[in-house]
Chains A and B, each alone.
Chain A
Amino acid sequence: MGSLSRRQLAVATCAGAAAALLPRRSKAASPTVGAPVPPDELPAREASWYKKLPDSRVECQLCPRGCQVADAERGGCGVRENRGGVYNTLVHSLACTVHLDPIEKKPFFHVLPGSQALSYATAGCNVECKFCQNWEISQFRPEQVAATYLPPEALAKIARNNGVPLLSATYSEPVVFWEYVRDTAIEGRKLGIRSTVVSNGYIQEKPLKEVLPSLVAMKVDLKAFSERFYKDVVRGELKPVLKSIEAIKASGTWLEIVVLLLPELNDSEAEVRTLSRWVKTTLGAEVPVHFTRFHPTYRLTNLPPTPLDSLERAWQIAKAEGLAFAYLGNVPGHAGESTVCPGCGGQLIRRVGFQVMENRLTKGRCPSCARAIPGVWS
């Protein structure tokens, strides 16, 4: 009988602990197991996308911020650190959240409807949305949140052992743990588990294109359609996000877009119309676009939830502009949650909240008019 190394034992223990948590459901991303790891015990691993500069400085080449980081400092994401001229990710395999979610929660509406996704995240984010729903992990550094060592092979095994067909990097911002996403997707694929990513799309082209072939689907939060909003509310930039969305579409990885509508900030008729037209002309009419409802949180507790009128107006505009799959989110029971055939108008998938109540799709086609519906159905 072979013996276990300390690391193997830790992995097995963590995997068991995480597996034990799988039946739990939680609406919010919250720490699951473990405790905060002291800074000098974080699992540092050399980052994959950076270049060395003189004077022990480095330039991060992962996200468009392109942080130039001096020795002993971290990038804007808070999870990458320069140690003596070597840039390290501090969150590879350091999951602060692991949950089993319906894939509709991501939301993906055209990816294996009704399936479960083993969803994971680390601390950190490369932007700072004032409306962040998961700010308690995204806006903190890895040593500040409870976490557990859960390497890619352990995540993949948990999924396989529980009959879960999908892995999903989500909650905080997968771009900042991109090496972990890449390696988990590779390990998952070995076991027949497919990987999805829920991201802000604020990433440089090279790392994006290197990992896309390992992903079955990627959802991008298009937070608005104005640079001003990105600058003032997100502390990011719109243009690189649009480039990422185009690259995802071109790669063949399934793409869905979410637009969180905030009252008065990004929900004007003109902005929604411009966004819808851009999607149609640049990406095509069949890319699903979800307009979701904002609830006050983090630094925008002064705003009310998005009025239903505003959501419905956006939904109607998107459809009028020719988008075949416009959806509404965070309004459980609304007709805008369901998939309707653009050919004959028949209802194909009826959803209430994150639950699929009925799925009439037959081999990816409408059973009434046989129109092909794009997506990942099997």
Chain B
Amino acid sequence: MGRTISRRELVRIAGLGVAGLARGAGAAARPPRVRGRVGLAPLPPGAGGGPLDPAAAERALSAALVACTGLATARDAVEALFLPEDIVGVKVNSIAGPGMSPRVELVSALAGLLHQRGIPSHRIIVFDRSSRELARSRFPVRRDDGDWLCYGIDNDYDREPTASGQIGSCFARLVSTTCSALVSFGVVKDHDLAGVSAGLKNLYGLIHNPNKYHDHNCDPYVADVLNHPFVKGKLRLVVLDGVTAQCHGGPAYRPDAVWPLGLIAASTDPVAADAWAWKVIDAERQRKGMPSLEAAGRPPRFLATAARYGLGVADPAGIVEVRA
């Protein structure tokens, strides 16, 4: 790793953490989780499928954050969710390449808000399974410099597996050791086995052996990853790039199944965010005359399991969509 945290800085961070606990916990020591609430903000695709306007991306992301937290400003939302001492890992889903990965402009906008919270560039780490996949999806791979760091796990996993429910996996050290806070920054797309790949399936990229856990529509395994202390204790926010979405053929990019959803979704309830994604994917499939995910044999069963674990709201009746 290029930029490392100095001993002095580490001591300072640890000291601040202890001080925070001692004063009864600061804002983000117990980050707010608004169960069932999904914030939505409009953001149409760039002209001709080109890059987003950075200012528009920032406005949309900010609006989604305000909508999902109910706080007055995006700055308030980020202050409530993160501490200046945090090392924030932003897990993006870049497996499908540039056609169906989170847009760099949106990730950059999130990094901007984290900067405003006082989190320096080298403590914002945008990552995925491999640097190559990130680069292919137009992320600027760098272990030093820039407004945020960006690199792949690239086989840097824990040496020993840990268990959670049915899974036994080595977690990325970025997650188990380096980061104190996580953001799952996904897309809104169909997945051939899981049903939906949004904020939760994205978390499969944190473990070394996701191929072992695709039976039974990835249930209970996706919920088990979310329920692992490394994740449950650190995941503060889910952001979904729904500028365009994909209703069939995932996880690969299928241009014929992509439609302009024109929304950014954010939620502090990771289960609710995915439940919302399921709803919009099924609505688009219905519009196109395709069977629902349930009828196609791939309902995202892991959502009900995650709800049963107490990790969020999966029941559509309990989801509150707040539009900016």
- A residues bordering B, Cβ < 8 Å? 36, 38-40, 55-57, 67-78, 128, 130, 135, 139-141, 143-144, 235, 298-299
Contacts and interface: CB of A to CB of B under 8 A. Distances in A.
14 contacts: A39-B130, A56-B249, A56-B252, A57-B192, A70-B249, A70-B252, A73-B193, A73-B251, A75-B211, A76-B211, A78-B212, A140-B208, A140-B209, A299-B168
A186 B246 CA distance: 46
B132 A141 contact: no
B155 A36 contact: yes
Interface residues of B, number: 22
Interface of B: 95-96, 130, 132, 155, 157, 161, 163, 168, 191-193, 208-209, 211-212, 214-215, 249-252
B192 A139 contact: no
B161 A298 contact: yes
A135 B157 CA distance: 14
**Residue picked from A72, A135, A140, most chain B C-beta under 10 Å:** A72
Contact of B192 (A39, A73, A75): A73
Contacts of A139: 161, 208-209, 212
Contacts of B130: 38-39
Given A57-B192, A73-B192, A299-B163, 16 more contacts: A40-B132, A70-B191, A70-B249, A70-B252, A72-B251, A73-B252, A76-B214, A76-B215, A78-B209, A78-B211, A78-B212, A139-B209, A140-B208, A140-B209, A141-B209, A235-B212
**Prevailing SS type, chain B contact patch:** loop
Contact of B211 (A55, A77, A130, A299): A77
Contacts of A235: 212
B132 A72 contact: no
A144 B211 contact: no
Contacts of B208: 139-141, 144
A71 B249 contact: yes
Contacts of A70: 191-193, 249-252
A38 B251 contact: no
Contacts of A67: 214
A69 B193 CA distance: 8
A144 B155 contact: yes
A301 to B, nearest CB: 9
B209 A39 contact: no
Contacts of A76: 211-212, 214-215
Contacts of B252: 56, 70-73
Contacts of B214: 67, 73, 76
Contacts of B215: 76
A38 B129 CA distance: 12
